[in-house]
Amino acid sequence: MDVYSYRYSCKTWYGLGTATGIRNLYTDSDVAPEQAAKNDAKKFNNSAECDIQLLQRFKMTVTDVETFPAMAAQPLHKYNETNK
């Protein structure tokens, strides 16, 4: 599975500031990762205007290993084109 890390910068709903951060995302659709990340950032921040920069693409393989609490707290979001 390809997973993407991206940085976002979105205008806040009141237009006086910006919300910034980094998110991880994967998609199993034919949507380009840039578009999926932009749509995800807009939905996550409830914003109509977001800039994104892809930071990294990596392969993720899940195997049966021990999970530590800090890793379990890291969110991974699946892009769903029908739920924009």
Query: What is the pLDDT averaged over residues 57-79?
Result: 77
Which pLDDT band, with edges at 50, 70 and 90, does 76 fall under? confident
Query: What is the tens place of the pLDDT at every residue in 12-67?
Result: 877 789 999 999 999 888 889 999 999 999 999 999 999 999 999 999 887 767 77
Task: Reduce the secondary structure of the chain to three states and give it as a string.
Answer: CEEEEEEEEEECCCCCCEEEEEEEEECCCCCCHHHHHHHHHHHHHCCCCEEEEEEEEEECCCCCCCCCHHHHCCCCEECCHHHC
